Structure 1
Amino acid sequence: MSPPPPLNPIHSLLLPFFFFTFSLPATSHTSSSSSPPLSSSLSDWHSAHATYYAASDPRDSVGGACGYGDLGKAGYGLATVGLSEALFERGQICGACFELRCVEDLRWCIPGTSVIVTVTNFCAPNYGFTADGGGHCNPPNKHFVLPIESYEKIAIWKAGNMPVQYRRIKCRKEGGIRFTVSGAGIFISVMIGNVAGAGDVTAVKIKGSRTGWLQMGRNWGQNWHINADLKNQPLSFEVTSSDGITITSYNVAPKDWSFGQTFEGKQFET
């Protein structure tokens, strides 16, 4: 089998990413809605296919459609994956974690291995090919595109388009949730990354010292935005994941915060 083509250009809407972590006093509480934690159905193995891409230079920063920017600086490294349209959920699944294993092909699979990856990107359809004739990421295909370094943990690179099994698992992350603040004036955009537990975020609220809790809207991927004057106020965040669990971090950013900074809050339990 011949190697697959490089990953299609993917909605690379990369925001400026400046990584400064401030260790500030922050208190938090967690609460759970009526939604259960990751259900047993999310732990079942399902069938899909996987291909890989290789950066022209391993030092290149790799961004993607979830908005995490430089994945090395964001803490994701090469344990990442781009999903086809059938799995991507228009970006709502960004940050979720999957375990993949190679199946059905004894020539190319590495027996007894699996790889755990975080969703950071989208594999766009290529309608110049049929879904079963080269359009690997076309609907209704369930397809994973991995960095070659992750792909080679479960299969030999010559395999090309490899049958795999996947299952959704809880994410385990080092440190707390990261809030990267960008924008200008009263427009505030917050990229939320390094989320443990379910991994994907479904709702975000922000609070200044002179405001109540303000609902943020999803801009794209895991970038959330609001129009509000929050300058010269310490910022608190309330984050809800897809399993209905909410965690609140108070006073994450200091009063003199500025755009381009990253702050660290509390973390979901795993």
Structure 2
Amino acid sequence: MQALGERSRQKMAMATPMNAFAVVAVISVVYLAASTAAASGGWDVADATFYGDMSGKATMGGDCGYGDLFSQGYGLANTAVSGVLFNNYETCGACYEVRCFNDERRCRQGSSIHVTVTSLCPPDPKLPGGGLCQPPRKHFDMSEAMYTKIATTPYAGSIPIQFRRVPCAKAGGIKFQIKGNPWWILVLVYNVGGSGDVASVSVRGSSSSGAWRPMEREWGQNWQITKTPELMGQALSFQVTTGDGKVVVSDNVAPAHWQFGQIFEGGQF
């Protein structure tokens, strides 16, 4: 994945031929002026840029830990978000509808896209004011393929947008990729429908008398548990809770002969 600092520098370079201080000032005025109007329609307001190229290769990986977004079903419809939206990994997997707002010259009026949060767009201390992703700014840094669906040109720079959370529509069930070793199990949870995010994960072995063991977020949507030799050789069930409090239990989704590196498909929201 492209270095995050370099990505921020490129965003500021793209934004406008004005100097960087003027860029921040102009965008801030647009952001503040739009906030009141956006709130009345149930949408929030932010701005958006892109990184990488039309292939989307630069957006693979990311801070949510998904890895190959194509093989996992997210594809090019992905975005990094600033820290105030990322919320310490809690919105990884969340889906948003995004549309251009209040700029007929740079935006395709009436067009909107759906994107999934797959990474963090961090502030850059080398840029004035920390750049476009400095808290409390709300910012989307998406793939070029998605950006050009709402911007009139790839050279439109940082464009004003409206955004709102929407349900995630997924084909098939929640996926569990099991990694680690007999003493430490790490599970990547992805392809989550409904609210898309994951608030907690628990695991249960088929010989564990019904006791759920809570897992800890290791990073992104990778969830870990230690002291696991007793889970080896057992079928595994997972309980996934999303940020809106909904729960799906996938009973015995991994059979007793499961191996590290395998991916299993469970229930869905």
TM range (shorter): 0.7 to 0.9
Q: What's the counterpart of residue 219 of structure 1?
A: 218
SS in 1 for 2:199: strand
Q: What code does the residue aligned with 1:176 have?
A: G
For 1:232 and 1:210, the matched residues in 2 are separated by 10
Query: Does the C-alpha gap of structure 1 residues 92 and 54 become closer, same or farther in structure 2, counting only changes over 3 Å?
Result: same
C-alpha distance after superposition, 1:145-165 (max 9, x if no partner): 010000011112111111101
Query: Does the C-alpha gap of structure 1 residues 61 and 45 become closer, same or farther in structure 2, counting only changes over 3 Å?
Result: closer
For 1:234 and 1:74, the matched residues in 2 are separated by 24
Q: What's the counterpart of residue 52 of structure 2?
A: 54
CA apart distance, 1:114:
0.3
Contact 1:176 1:267 in 2 (8 A): yes
For 2:235 and 2:264, the matched residues in 1 are separated by 11
CA apart distance, 1:48:
0.3
Tell me which protein shows more helix as a share of its residues: 2
C-alpha distance after superposition, 1:173-231 (max 9, x if no partner): 11100001100122000010010001101011101112221111111111100011211
CA apart distance, 1:60:
6.5
Greater Rg by CA: 2
Q: What code does the residue aligned with 2:44 have?
A: H
Q: What's the counterpart of residue 160 of structure 2?
A: 163
Q: What's the counterpart of residue 25 of structure 2?
A: none
Tell me how large the CA RMSD over aligned residues is: 2.0
CA apart distance, 1:7:
2.4
SS in 2 for 1:201: coil
For 1:167 and 1:118, the matched residues in 2 are separated by 12
For 1:139 and 1:47, the matched residues in 2 are separated by 14
Contact 2:8 2:132 in 1 (8 A): no
Q: What's the counterpart of residue 141 of structure 1?
A: 137
SS in 2 for 1:152: helix
Matching of residue 63 in structure 1 with residue 65 in structure 2: no
Task: Please point out which of 171, 189, 193 is paired with 1:192.
Answer: 189
For 1:7 and 1:235, the matched residues in 2 are separated by 40
C-alpha distance after superposition, 1:72-102 (max 9, x if no partner): 1111000001011111101111010011000
| Aligned length, in residue pairs | 230
Q: 1:166-177, aligned counterparts within 5 Å?
A: 166-177=163-174
CA apart distance, 1:58:
5.1
Q: 1:1-270, aligned counterparts within 5 Å?
A: 7-8=7-8, 44-55=42-53, 62-131=60-129, 135-155=131-151, 156-211=153-208, 212-227=211-226, 228-229=228-229, 230-268=231-269
For 1:117 and 1:85, the matched residues in 2 are separated by 17
For 2:169 and 2:66, the matched residues in 1 are separated by 17
Q: TM-score, normalised by structure 1?
A: 0.81
Contact 2:56 2:144 in 1 (8 A): no
SS in 1 for 2:150: coil
For 2:182 and 2:160, the matched residues in 1 are separated by 49
Q: TM-score, normalised by structure 2?
A: 0.81
SS in 1 for 2:88: helix
Contact 1:6 1:54 in 2 (8 A): no
Q: What code does the residue aligned with 2:217 have?
A: R
Unaligned runs of 5+ in 1: 10-40
C-alpha distance after superposition, 1:111-137 (max 9, x if no partner): 211000010000111011233xx7011
For 2:58 and 2:261, the matched residues in 1 are separated by 21
For 2:169 and 2:140, the matched residues in 1 are separated by 20
SS in 2 for 1:93: coil
Unaligned runs of 5+ in 2: 10-38
Query: Does the C-alpha gap of structure 1 residues 199 and 56 become closer, same or farther in structure 2, counting only changes over 3 Å?
Result: closer
